[in-house]
Structure 1
Amino acid sequence: MAGSETSAATTATPTSTSSSATNRRRFLVTSSAAVAGAGAALVLPGQRRSSAAADTPPGQGAPHASPARSSAGRAAPFGATTLETTARLAPGSGYRRLVSGPGWPLAVRDELAAARSGRADRRTALACFVQVTDLHVADVQSPLRTEFLRAGSAGSWRAQEALSVAGSVALVEQINALGDGPYTGRPPAFVMSTGDNVDNHSALELEWFLTLMSGGRITPNSGDPHAYEGVQNSGLPLYWHPDSDLSDQDKRRGLPRIPGYLEAALRPVVSPGLRMPWYSTPGNHDDLPGGCLSPYDPVLREYVTGARKLYSVPDAEVAALARVLDTGGDPKSTVLREILLRHAAGARAVTPDPRRRMLTPQEYVRAHLDPAFAGAGPAGHGYSENQLDGERMYYSFRAADGVLGISIDTTYRSGHYEGSLGSEQLAWLERTLAAHSAHYYDADGRLVHNAAADDAHILVFSHHHSPSMTRRPDAARTEETRHDGAEVIALLNRFPNVVAWINGHSHINRITPHPHPTAARSFWEVNTASHVDYPQHARLFELVDNHDGTLSLFTTLIESGAPHRTDFGDLSAVGLASLYREVSYNAPGLAAQMGGGVLEAMAGRAVDRNTELMVRRG
C-alpha cells in the first residue's frame, strides 16, 4: 500500500507513563540569502483586539516579570507565545545572559491575496495545531559522532546539546499549557514533528524521542550508567568542559564553568507527554547516522555500539572529511570509515552499548506503532501496519473537519543530507491531492472537475524545505528518478486548495509565497527554525475562513516553557532547560564563522515570524 490515511486528530487522555555541523552551517549560509526576498508586508503594532483591530491578538505588550510556580514546584511556562515576550541577549560582548524582551508584532502578508477589512468579524475557525521541528534529541556519548570536525569549524559542534532532552521536555510542557489559539479561540488539536526528531539515527535516541512525546521517564545517558564518557571531560581544549578549570576554547570565549553540569545532564527527566495527538515526519537525521552518513556500512554499524571513541584527528583529515560531507561526494562514507580504522589505536576506551544501534526504516516505523508509545494517539502517529516494510513512510490524515494533512518523506536512504521525492511518492502525492480537490489543473494546464472528490483545504508537511531538495540520485534506490523542490512546488500549484507546505531542516524561520506564474492559484511555504539551535522555536498555526473568498493562516512562534533567566547554580530540569536556551544563543564561533547577521537571519525577519498569511480560498 503506497502511503496511508489515518483518522481525525481528536484530543485524548495521555498515558501515565549530526549531520556534521559543517553541513548544517552550509544550509544556514545558503538559506539565509533567501530571507531578503520574502516580499512586502504590513507590520501592525502591538494592540489589543477590537472590531477595528482585526489582526492583532490580545496579550501583546510588556514581558512577564518572573515565572510562576506550579503546585508541583516546576516553573510554569514562561509566556504563552512570542506575541507576548521573547528571549533576548543582553547587551555586551562575550558570553551574554538572556533577558525577557517585548513580543514580536503580527505581520500581515498579502502577496497572494488581498487582506480585506472587517475579516475578523466574519471569520470561522477551521484548524489549530502546532509544528515542532529539528529537536535533535541526542545521545552525546555515541562513538559515531564526529565532534572532531570542530577543529576545522567552531560551529561544527554544539556546546548545549547534552541538554537536548531537558530542553525538549520544556517545549512539551509549553505546548500543553498553550490554551486557546489567539485567533481561533481553539486549543491545538494536534502536534506535527517535521523531522530530525533524533540526532544520530539511533535506537536509543528514538526511544527517548517517543517517550518525550508520549510521556514517561528518560535517562539521557548511555554507555557507563554511572559516568559521562564524551568530549566534555576529555581534557581536550577543543570542547567546552563545564565542570573543570581547563582553559578550553569555549571558556576563552566566555562560556561559564558550571560544577556538576555533566552529572546533572545525565539525570533522569520525566516528560508529561503531549496532551494532544501527535504525528511524526522523518528527517535526514532520523534516517541516517549524523544526518549524512551511510547506514549500511558494516564498519560504522559496529563502531556505533562498540568500545572505542575517536575524539580528535589530524587537521588535514578533518578538512578531507568536511569536504566530502559538504559536497555529498562520499555516499558510502568511505572517508570516515578509513579515518576510524586508521586511528583505532588512538581512540579512547568507552563502555559499549547495544542500544545505540542504527535503525532500519522498518524498525523506525515499528517503534512508532509500539503501544508503549501510544500517548494521546493516534496509533502509529501517522504510520500504519501497512507501512512496516519501511519503504513508504508517507501518509495523509484528517487534520480537522474539511482540512487534510499530508506528510511526505523527503529523505535520501543513502548518505546525504539533502532531500528529494522519488517518482512513486510524487505520483502518490498527486493522486492524494486529486482525491481531495473538487477542481484542479492537470500537467498540461487544463482544468479538471472532480465531482467525486472529498474537497478539503490541504496542508503538506515535510522535513526538507524546497531549496534543500535536489535531483541527486539515491544510491539506496538507484532505479528510481528523484524530484527536487521546484517540481514539488509546480505540483502543489496545480491544486488551488493547497494552503501551505510546512517544513524545517534549514534551522531558520522563513515564510515564502509561491504564486503560480500565470494563474490565480498559490500557496505559502512555512519554514520553521530548529529547537536545538538558536532561536529554539516551534510554531502555532491557526487556519480560518474569512468568508470573503480568502483564508488566513496565522503563524505564531513559541518558545519552551523554561524561564529566560538562568541561574548557574540551578541544575534542576527547569534550570537545565533554561541553560540549554542560553548557551544556544551564545553559540561559540557561529557569528564569526558566518557573519555578524547570522543570528538575525536564523530568527527571521518580522514577516517570517508571527504572521497572517492571506490566501485565496481554493
Structure 2
Amino acid sequence: MSRIRSVATSALAVNRRTVLAATGAAAVSAGVGYALRPTDSQAATTTPAADTAAEAPVAQSRQAPAAAPLAPYTRGTTVAIVAAPRTSSGFRRLGDGPGWQRVVRGDLAAAKSGRAGRRTALAAFVQLTDMHIIDAQHPMRLEYLRSTDVHAWRPQEALTVHGAIALVERINALRGGPVTGAPLHFAMTTGDNTDNNARTELEWFLTVMSGGRISPNSGDPRHYEGVMNSGIKQYWQPDTTVRDADKQRGFPHLDGFLAAAIRELNSPGLNLPWYSTVGNHDAMPLGCYGSHADPWLTEYAMGGRKLMSLPAAEAKKLQDAIKKAKDPKGAGFRELLKAHARDMRSVTPDEARAPYTPTEYLKAHLDPAHRGLGPVGHGYSTANLDKGTQYYSFRIADDVIGISLDTTDAGGHYEGSVGTAQLKWLEKTLKDNKDSYAVVFSHHTSQSMDNTRPDPARPGERRHSGAEVVNLLSRQRNVLAWVNGHIHRNDITAHSGSGGGHGFWEISTASHVDYPQLARVIELVDNKDGTLSLFTTCVESSAPHRTDFADLSQTGLAALYRELSFNAPGASTSLGGSARDRNTELVLKKG
C-alpha cells in the first residue's frame, strides 16, 4: 500500500507546505500543537454534493515540524513515576511510586530486532476519556442509590473540574511523545465529557478544554446546596463534625472544603487542537434515559426540589431498572420522583441545569467562544447540524486519518450501537481513504455495544452491535486501532484480521473520574521492516501525588480529587488494568 498521498485539490483543501511558507513556518517548541484550522464544511459527515467537499473527504489537522531533534519525553508520564499508596489502612494516603514498565505485545505480528533504530514517527496524539464533568448539586443526580450501592455516589464528585484542569495542565507540559519525541498532533476526548447531560456541565467541559474561568457551582451562587452538607450520614460531610459513614472509614474533616470546591477556577485550555466524541452521558440525562421530551423531568432538573435519600429497597429497584434497561425513557423514574415529592429538600432553582439536546451539543462545540486552538467545531460541522449526526472524519497526518463515531443509542440505556447509515458511512470512509492508515474513535467498546433498540428519530433503521463493527474493521487493511472508553478501565485487545485485513488493536482507556484517573498518549510508528507499532503511554494529571489537607487551593483540591477517588468506598481496584493494558508497544503488520 502506497503511503505517498497528495493533498486534495479542492478549493476547500489546504496545502500544509504552502501555508507554512506563507506564515513564515512559525516556530513552535517540540510538543506544542500547530493546526491548520479546517473550513466548516471539511468535516462533512455524509456523502457530500459533487461540487462541495467530495474532493476533501476528511478535515485537515496539521502540525509544524519540531524545532529541535526529537528525543523521547517521559517526564510526567507513568513510565517515570505513578501514584502509589504510602499508608496501608484507614484513609490511605498517596505518594510517588515507581513507573510502569513498557510491555511489547506481538499478538498480531512479531516484533523484529533492530526496529528502534529504523522506526519513523507517523503521528502522536493524546486520548482523554470519561472525564464526567459533574454538576454535583444537580437535582437529577442519583446519589441516593448509595443506600443500596456504596459506590453509586463518590466523595470526589464535587472536584471533577479541578481534576480535569490538572489533566489539561499535564498534557500541556508534555513536550513530545514518550517514545519518539514526536510533537503531539492533537487531543481526542472519547465521550462522557459531561455526566448528566446538563448545560452547566457542558459549559464547564468546553471551558476546561478551550480555556477560561469556571465557577463549578449551580443554584445559589454563594453556597453549596447538596448531599455533602445535608447532614445525611450516608454521605461524607467534610465541613462538619458529623460522624458520617465515610468519616468512620477514615475520611477527614476539612473546614472550608465546600466553599473552596465551588470557588472560581481558571483553565489554561489545551495547547493542542482538540476533537470531541460523544458518549452516553453527553447524549442522555443520567447517561441512560433516552427521552428529552419529558417536560416534567426537564422542570425537575431546573427546579427547586431535590431528592437526597431513598430507602435501600427502592434504590435497588431503581438501579436494577437502569442496569437492565427496563425504563429506557425514564417514565418509571419520573413516577418515583413524584411519589417522593414530600421527601425532597429545597434548593435554589437554576435554568442553566436544563438538559441539552444533540443540536445544542453541536452548536456549543461550534461556538467561537469555545474554539481554543481549534479546529472549528472540534470535529463537528454544520453538516452535522443539517443531517442530525454526530460522527465525522479528519486528517491526523499525511497518511493517517481519524474517524469519530457516535455509538450512543438515543432509544435509551447506557450501552451502545450504531445505525445502518453510520455503519455504511464508516465503510465508505475507510475505502475512500484506503491509502491512509485509519484510527477509529468512539465512546463505547466493542463489548459494550449490545443495545440495539431503535433510535426514536430513525425508527425504521436497524442498529448494529460492536461485533458487527469489529467484523467491518477486521476486513480493512488500513485500520490500525479502535480507541475508546466507557468501561473506565485500561484494556487493550487484539482483533485478528479477516478477508484480507491484518487485524487491529482496540485500546480502551481508564476514566478520569475513577481512580487511577488516567489519559493516554498514543504514538504511531513505521518500523521499516514490514511492521508498524502503536506505543501507548498512560499519563496522570499534574496534581502532586501527596496531598495536604490544609491546602484547599486549585492545585491542592486537584490532588485531593485523586486521593478521594483512590479511597472511594466500593471502588474497583482493577481499573488500571494489567501491565499489558497500560504502557505498551503494540505490533501489527504493515498494510
TM-score (ref. length: structure 2): 0.88
* Alpha-carbon distance in structure 2 between the residues aligned to 1:310 and 1:416: 22
After the TM superposition, which residues 166-315 of structure 1 pair with which residues of structure 2 at under 5 Å, given as runs? Answer: 166-294=162-290, 295-315=292-312
Q: CA 1:388–1:539 in structure 2 vs 1: closer, same or farther (change >3 Å)?
A: same
Structure 1: runs of 5+ lacking an equivalent: 13-55, 60-78, 438-454, 591-597
Look up the equivalent residue of 1:582 and give its one-letter code: E
CA contact (8 A) 1:309 1:350 kept: yes
Tell me the SS of whatever aligns to 1:367.
helix
* Alpha-carbon distance in structure 2 between the residues aligned to 1:2 and 1:527: 24
* Alpha-carbon distance in structure 1 between the residues aligned to 2:289 and 2:73: 47
- C-alpha RMSD of matched pairs (Å): 1.5
CA-CA distance at 1:332 after TM superposition: 1.7
Tell me which residue corresponds to 1:109: 105
State the identity as a percent: 56
CA contact (8 A) 1:3 1:394 kept: no
* Alpha-carbon distance in structure 2 between the residues aligned to 1:407 and 1:225: 37
CA contact (8 A) 2:239 2:256 kept: yes
1:610 counterpart = 2:590: no
Look up the equivalent residue of 1:312 and give its one-letter code: S
Tell me which residue corresponds to 2:448: 468
CA contact (8 A) 1:411 1:418 kept: yes
Tell me which residue corresponds to 1:381: 378
* Alpha-carbon distance in structure 2 between the residues aligned to 1:369 and 1:119: 42
Look up the equivalent residue of 2:345 and give its one-letter code: R
After the TM superposition, which residues 137-536 of structure 1 pair with which residues of structure 2 at under 5 Å, given as runs? Answer: 137-294=133-290, 295-389=292-386, 391-437=388-434, 455-476=435-456, 477-516=458-497, 521-536=502-517
CA-CA distance at 1:6 after TM superposition: 4.8
**Which of 534, 537, 554 does residue 573 from structure 1 map onto?**
554
CA contact (8 A) 2:409 2:452 kept: no
CA-CA distance at 1:182 after TM superposition: 2.4
* Alpha-carbon distance in structure 2 between the residues aligned to 1:538 and 1:416: 26
CA-CA distance at 1:617 after TM superposition: 0.8
CA contact (8 A) 1:362 1:389 kept: no
Look up the equivalent residue of 2:584 and give its one-letter code: T
Once the two structures are superposed, residues 482-526 of structure 1 have per-residue CA deviations (whole angstroms, 9 ceiling, x without a partner) of 111110000001101100000000000010000136756100000
Tell me the SS of whatever aligns to 1:285.
helix
Tell me the SS of whatever aligns to 2:377.
helix
Tell me the SS of whatever aligns to 2:535.
strand
Look up the equivalent residue of 1:472 and give its one-letter code: T
CA-CA distance at 1:298 after TM superposition: 1.8
CA contact (8 A) 1:511 1:526 kept: yes
CA contact (8 A) 2:477 2:500 kept: no
CA contact (8 A) 2:92 2:567 kept: yes
CA contact (8 A) 1:10 1:276 kept: no
CA-CA distance at 1:93 after TM superposition: 1.6
CA contact (8 A) 2:475 2:501 kept: no
Once the two structures are superposed, residues 153-185 of structure 1 have per-residue CA deviations (whole angstroms, 9 ceiling, x without a partner) of 001011101000011000000000000112222
CA-CA distance at 1:58 after TM superposition: 7.1
Tell me which residue corresponds to 2:95: 99
Tell me which residue corresponds to 1:10: 62
* Alpha-carbon distance in structure 1 between the residues aligned to 2:368 and 2:361: 14
CA contact (8 A) 2:83 2:94 kept: yes
* Alpha-carbon distance in structure 1 between the residues aligned to 2:170 and 2:387: 32
Look up the equivalent residue of 1:433 and give its one-letter code: L
After the TM superposition, which residues 525-604 of structure 1 pair with which residues of structure 2 at under 5 Å, given as runs? Answer: 525-590=506-571, 598-599=572-573, 601-604=574-577
CA-CA distance at 1:387 after TM superposition: 1.1
Once the two structures are superposed, residues 257-304 of structure 1 have per-residue CA deviations (whole angstroms, 9 ceiling, x without a partner) of 111110000001100000110000000000011111233322111100
Once the two structures are superposed, residues 406-445 of structure 1 have per-residue CA deviations (whole angstroms, 9 ceiling, x without a partner) of 00000011321001000010000010011011xxxxxxxx
Q: Once structures 1 and 2 are overlaid, which stretch shifts more, 1-10 or 335-344?
A: 1-10
CA-CA distance at 1:91 after TM superposition: 3.9
Q: CA 1:332–1:562 in structure 2 vs 1: closer, same or farther (change >3 Å)?
A: same
Once the two structures are superposed, residues 518-556 of structure 1 have per-residue CA deviations (whole angstroms, 9 ceiling, x without a partner) of 756100000000001011000001100011111010000
CA contact (8 A) 1:393 1:408 kept: yes
* Alpha-carbon distance in structure 2 between the residues aligned to 1:316 and 1:302: 27
CA-CA distance at 1:474 after TM superposition: 2.8
TM-score (ref. length: structure 1): 0.84
Look up the equivalent residue of 1:544 and give its one-letter code: V
CA contact (8 A) 1:331 1:475 kept: no
* Alpha-carbon distance in structure 1 between the residues aligned to 2:218 and 2:501: 54
* Alpha-carbon distance in structure 2 between the residues aligned to 1:500 and 1:238: 43
Tell me the SS of whatever aligns to 2:60.
coil
Look up the equivalent residue of 2:452 and give its one-letter code: R
* Alpha-carbon distance in structure 1 between the residues aligned to 2:326 and 2:170: 41
* Alpha-carbon distance in structure 1 between the residues aligned to 2:368 and 2:348: 30
